[in-house]
A and B are shown apart, each in its own frame.
Chain A
Amino acid sequence: MQNRVFVTGIGIISAIGYDTKEVLVSLLNRRSGIGSLTLIDSVYRNEIPVGEIKASNHDLQQLAGPGSNKWNTRTTLLGVLAAREAYEQAGLESGTESRAGFISATTVGGMDRSEIFYKKFMADKSRGRLKNIIGHDCGDSTEKIADSIGIKGFVTTLNTACSSSANSIILGTRLIRNGLLDVVVAGGTDALTLFTLNGFNSLMILDREICRPFDETRNGLNLGEGSAFLVLESEERVDRSGKKVLCEISGFGNACDAFHQTASSPEGEGAYLSMKLALDSAGILPGDIDYINAHGTGTRNNDLSEGTAVRRIFPAELPLLSSTKSYTGHTLAAAGAIEAVLSVLAIQNGVIYPNLNFSRQMNELDFSPVTELIKDIQIKHIMSNSFGFGGNNSTLILSRCS
C-alpha cells in the first residue's frame, strides 16, 4: 500500500514576483514579467525579451540575509530564497528532519559566474577570481541550498533539461510513496546567462517579441529565470502533525519522445505517453482534469507537438488549457517546479490563468487556450506538462484535497 503524498509548502522567485504572494498578484493582474535584458552585458540587450528577475546577485544576497556571502552563484541565491519560503510555510525546522530529502535541478549551475571568470582568464591567465568558478558544478547549488535549510540526508541533482524540476517532484513523490523518506523538498533553479542566450539564439527559437504560446503567429520562446520548491510530505506525517495541506501529488508520468535531440515528434508521442502515464498513475480519467498548465513555450515545434498530443489524450471535451510562459518566460530547469507552484496556487485560490498574448488559433488545432482569467472556480485536478530537450517528457497531476 503506497503512501499518499501531499504538498505542505511552496516557494517561488521569478520575473513576476519574489515570493508566492507577489507571484499570485501578478497572475491575477495579467502582469507579465517579460521585458528587456538589463543585468547582463549582451549584444542582444535591446533585442531579445526575457523573463529577468530585476535584482542583481548583490540584491539577492541582501534579500537572503546573513551568511549569504557563501552563496555567490545566481542559481544558488534564487534557490535558497525559494527553498526557504517553502520550508518555512511547511513549518519544518532546519536540521531536525531525519528522513528528509532534497532534490534540485539546474541546467546552468554556476555558469553566471564562470562565464565572467572565463572571459578574464582567457585574456590573461593570471586574472580571474577563483571564487567565480568554484560554484560551477550543477551539484554545487543543490548542496548549498540543502545546507541552507538544514537537509543532510538524501540530496541529489537532476539534469534533464526543461523537464528537470518536474522530475525532481516525481522522484520526491516516489521516495515518499515507497516509504523511503517522509519529507522531500523538491524543485529546481536556473539563471539567465550569456551561455544560454547565445545558445538558444543559435537555434533560432527565440522570439524577438513577447511569446505567443499556441498562437498561429507564434515565433519562439522567451528565456526566463527563477526557482521554485515544493515541500512534499507523507500522509502519515501530515496526519500526525495535523498541518494544513495545499494539495496532493496524485499522479505523474515520464516518457521519452525518442525523435530528435531538440525537436518534438509531430504526433507528440512522448507527450502523449507522459500524459497517459500520469492519468493512469493518478487513477483518473481524462474527463477528470479541470485545467492543463501546458509546457507551451511558444516555439512553432513544441506547441504543435503538444497540441496534437493533448488532442490525442482528450479526444472528446478538452479541459481548459493555458501556458503561463508568457508571464514568466521559459525558466528551463526551474520550469517544472515553477509551474507546479502556479498549479498549487490555482487550486488554492480557485483561479485559472489566461494564456497571455493569444489572438489566432493554430491552423492545425481545433482548440484555443484560455484567454480570460477565470476566478471562483472549483478545481479538482490539474495536469502540468514539462518537456525537455533529449525528448525527456514529464507530466504531473496535482489534486485538491477536501
Chain B
Amino acid sequence: MRKEEYIISDFCIIRNNRAIVNGELIFSAPRHNTAAFLTALYRHLDVGYAKFFKMDSLCKLGFLASELILRKHDPILPDQADDTGLILANAASSIDSDRNHQRSIADHDAYFPSPSVFVYTLANIVAGEISIRHKLHGENAFFIDRQFDPVRMHAYATQLFDEDIIKRCLMGWVELDGDRYEAVLYFIQKSAGHKDGIAIFEPGKLNDIYLQGSDLWNN
C-alpha cells in the first residue's frame, strides 16, 4: 500500500469532559461527572436513540465518539456496510461493568444479578453497539493493550486495506474506568476524492492526534 493512498479523514477526541471533532470543540461540560457528561453530550447531539440509556458507560463513550465521526458520513450505504472495518482497543477492558456485575452477585442473601449489566462485561460490546447503530457488517476487532499503540493499529488496518477486506475503517482507543476515560477515534478512507482529509494515514499522525488532544487539556 502506498503511503499516500489512505488518509485520516476525520478524528474525534472525548476527554476531560470535552468533545472535539477535527480540532474543533463541539461540546464541553466541565462540572459534570462522567455519567452526567455522557448524557449531556448525547442530548447536545440530539441523537434520538433511546437504546443509548441501556448501555454501560464504556459503550456510551464509544457510541458517542463514533456518532460524532459517522454523522458526517452517514448513512453508510448498504453496499458500504460490509466494507467498513471497526478496530478498537483499550487497557481496562470492561472493568466498570465487571465491578457492577461482581457487586450484584457478592451477597448470597440479596442476590440479583442483572442480565443487562452482565451483557456489558465484555469489551467488544462497544463494537457491537456501534455496528448495530450504523449497520456495519465489516470486520471488527478489539484489542487489550497497556496503552494506545498507533503502530499496531495502523499495521492491522493496513493489512485489511491491502487484502481489500475493507475500504474504510473506524478505529481507535475507547477507555473507561470510573471517572478516568478517554476516546480517540479516527475515520480512515482512501485519499482519492477526499482532498480535505486531516492527514496521511500513518502511525506518527495517529499519535500526534492522540497527544494533541491531551496537550490542549493540560492547563
Contact = CB atoms under 8 A, between A and B. Distances in A.
B118 A199 contact: yes
B128 to A, nearest CB: 3
Interface stretch (B16-24, B39-47, B100-108): B100-108
Nearest to B133: A258
Given A119-B106, A199-B113, A270-B137, A256 B145 contact: no
Nearest to B118: A199
B122 A107 contact: yes
Nearest to A142: B144
A326 interface: no
A119 B107 CA distance: 9
B179 interface: no
B137 A258 contact: yes
A194 B119 contact: no
Interface in B119-137: 119-129, 131-132, 134-137
A255 B136 CA distance: 9
A43 B108 contact: yes
A144 to B, nearest CB: 14
A201 B115 CA distance: 8
A88 interface: no
A156 B113 contact: no
B119 A157 contact: no
A254 B113 contact: no
B131 A109 contact: no
A72 to B, nearest CB: 19
A311 interface: no
Given A139-B144, A254-B141, A202 B118 contact: yes
Interface of A: 43, 107, 109, 111, 115, 118-119, 122, 137-139, 156-161, 167, 171, 174-175, 178, 180, 194-195, 198-204, 254-262, 269-270, 273, 277, 281, 388-392
Interface of B: 81-82, 86, 91, 93, 98, 101-102, 105-106, 108, 111, 113-115, 118-129, 131-132, 134-146, 152, 155-156, 159, 162-163, 165
